[in-house]
């Protein structure tokens, strides 16, 4: 249900940016691997919700980024692809997240009006 409320929030953000809901074609977002979001699930929820809300032709593009974390034990910084990634140096799982929790709306694409 988390993904569903995210999808709803995204549509709320997008709504004021466009004139005609039917013209919305593409929404691009970036999701960090530590944002706690399942991309597949979000994609599905967004597409379903968008159709119900009156955006029949929209496609969601999800860019993934790697997270940067710092090991709490040996203080090495490494990239984490998911929550399960352990420290490559000491195999510790206690770490401080430096980046990777973001979920940002990058761009929207609207079909141009043909004059």
Please identify, using beta-carbon distances, which residue of 90 and 103 lies nearer to Zn ion: 90
| Rounded distance between C-alpha atoms, residue 93 and residue 25, angstroms | 41
Using rule CB under 5 A, residue 108 touches Zn ion: no
d(CA 48, CA 41): 11
DSSP string computed for 59-113: EEEEEE--EEEEETTT--EEEESSTTPPPTTT----EEEEE---EEEEEEEEPPP
Rounded Cα–Cα distance for residues 22 and 48 (Å): 14
Site map 56..75 versus Zn ion, x via CB under 5 A: ---------------x-xx-
Q: Which stretch binds Zn ion (CB under 5 A): 21-29, 36-44, 81-89, 102-110?
A: 81-89
Backbone angles phi, psi at 2, to 5 degrees: -55, -45
Contact between 89 and Zn ion per CB under 5 A: yes
Q: For Zn ion, which residue of 31, 35, 87, 100 counts as binding (CB under 5 A)?
A: 87
Instruction: Tell me the number of residues near Zn ion by CB under 5 A.
Output: 7
Q: Could you say whether residue 94 binds Zn ion (CB under 5 A)?
A: no
**CA distance linking residue 76 with residue 74, whole number of Å:** 6
Which span sits near Zn ion by CB under 5 A: 7-15, 58-66, 85-93, 103-111? Answer: 85-93
**Contact call for residue 90 and Zn ion (CB under 5 A):** yes
Which residues are near Zn ion by CB under 5 A? Answer: 71, 73-74, 87, 89-90, 92
């Amino acid at each position: 249900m988390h993904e569903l409320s995210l999808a709803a929030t995204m549509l709320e953000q997008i709504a004021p940016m466009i004139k005609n809901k039917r013209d919305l074609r593409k929404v691009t977002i970036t999701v960090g691997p530590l944002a706690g979001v399942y991309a597949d699930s979000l994609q599905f929820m967004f597409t379903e919700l968008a159709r119900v809300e009156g955006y029949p032709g929209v496609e969601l593009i999800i860019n993934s980024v790697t997270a940067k974390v710092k090991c709490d034990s040996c203080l090495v910084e490494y990239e984490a692809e998911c929550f399960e990634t352990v420290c490559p140096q000491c195999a510790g799982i206690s770490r401080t997240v430096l980046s990777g929790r973001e979920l940002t709306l990058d761009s929207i694409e609207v079909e141009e009006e043909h004059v």
